[in-house]
Amino acid sequence: MAAADPRVLRDILRPLGLHTIRAARLRRFSEEYLSKQWSCPSQLHGVGSYAADAYHIFCRGRWRQVQPADKDLRRYCEWLAATGRSLAAGWRGGTEWCEGLNMRATHVLSCCLDW
């Protein structure tokens, strides 16, 4: 994605609207994802509070420490607390697979970009 042709990327994103802005954000995000020493997605371009909260809840398993502003993330944390569920329960490998830079880029893109 970081090396993608901007024109091709814009054409792919055109049906979504704001294709010029989205293409630039995706390229910059991808460049920073690969080159920066980041510990939280909010340190990357185009990632906001929802993304950071989702990352800590779903990828790091820190749902008890996060106080999300988003009502659905908040309701999910409340559900986890009320049911006594563990985020890693039933997940093969638990949450270790997305520690730090080993987190899959496709996962970040699918759940964490705040556009």
Share of the chain above pLDDT 90, in %: 54
- 46 lies in the same domain as 22: no
Are both 88 and 45 inside the same structural domain?
A: yes
**Tally of domains within the chain:** 2
Please tell me the number of Cα atoms within 13 Å of 53 on its side-chain side: 17
Task: Give pairs for 38-41: CB < 8 Å, separation 24+.
Answer: 38/101, 39/100, 41/108, 41/112
Q: How many whole angstroms separate alpha carbon 23 and alpha carbon 2? A: 10
Q: Identify which of 49-53, 81-85, 89-93, 105-109 has the greatest average pLDDT.
A: 49-53
- Residues 43 and 71 both lie in one domain: yes
CA 90 to the chain's CA centroid: 21
Catalytic residue among 5, 11, 53, 70: 70
- The reported pLDDT for the residue numbered 2 is 84
Residues 48 and 91 reside in one and the same domain: yes
Regarding whether 52 and 105 lie in a shared domain, the answer is: yes
If asked whether residues 28 and 56 sit together in one domain, one would say no
- pTM tops 0.75, yes or no: no
Active site residue 53: no
Kindly state whether residues 58 and 27 are assigned to the same domain.
Answer: no
Going 82 to 98 to 60 to 25, the CA torsion angle's sign is negative
In this predicted structure, the answer to whether residue 97 has a pLDDT above a threshold of 80 is: no
pLDDT at 102 over 70: no
Residue 86: per-residue pLDDT:
64
State which residues form the domain around 49: 39-112
Residues 51 and 10 in one domain: no
User: In this predicted structure, what is the pLDDT of residue 39?
Assistant: 85
